[in-house]
Amino acid sequence: MLTIHCMKKYSILFFSILFTLNLSAHPFYFSYAEIQYNEFCNCFEGFISLSSHDFEELLNEEKNTKTSISKAMNDSLLKKEISEILNSGLSFSAGRQEIQIQLEGYESEMNGLTRFYFKTQPFKNSEEILVEYDLFMEKYKEQQNKLTIIQRDNKETFDFLIQEKTKLITIKP
């Protein structure tokens, strides 16, 4: 009787550990961005939503440090590094003009995601914008990114995968 009881305890402990390990593993890598074209400033406004854990890991590897997003956003040098990571992971260009993202703020959510809010610098009126959205793709080959662009009353979503990191989007006049 004692051995059956011990076996039950160990089985429960084993499956609890297995379940916990399974929860911390992450079977997919995904980020989502949403931008809206603002005709008044000739710019995009939007956000990037991504895994807080993955972003902190990337930031800490690049800066050889151990910090959280909230601490980094309160440090001017690390905030600049966050902005550089976002600019290298989601970039826009109109013709020969590179369009830089200007980090406006962030919001950490209870589900483990962080939203970085941004505005782009104004760009020359162009009908086509080249978008490259390869955030995390160098680190995670399974990474998938989605971008939704809102123009007036229209929404269009684009998928970005490792084999297709760039898209040409049309700005409707």
pLDDT at 44: 94
Q: Which residues, 6+ apart, have CB-to-CB distance to 118 below 8 Å? A: 45, 46, 47, 48, 86, 101, 102, 103, 104
In terms of Cα–Cα distance, which of 124, 78, 79, 117 is closest to 101?
117
Task: Give CA–CA dist 67/59, Å, rounded.
Answer: 8
Which is it for strands 97-99 and 90-94: parallel, antiparallel or unpaired? antiparallel
Residue 96 in this model has a pLDDT that exceeds 60: yes
| Predicted TM-score of the model (pTM) | 0.81
- Which percentage of the chain shows pLDDT scores above 70? 83
pLDDT band at 146 (very low <50, low <70, confident <90, very high): very high
| Tokens (6 digits) for 32 | 């989502």
pLDDT band at 82 (very low <50, low <70, confident <90, very high): very high
**Residue 169 to residues 25, 94, 119, 126: CA-CA distances in angstroms?**
35, 10, 18, 10
What is the distance between the terminal CA atoms of the chain, rounded to a whole angstrom?
Answer: 79
CB 131 within 8 A of CB 100: no
**Quick one: how far is CA 97 from the chain centroid?**
23
Tokens 């084999």, residue?
163
Task: Give CA–CA dist 88/132, Å, rounded.
Answer: 9
pLDDT at 11: 44
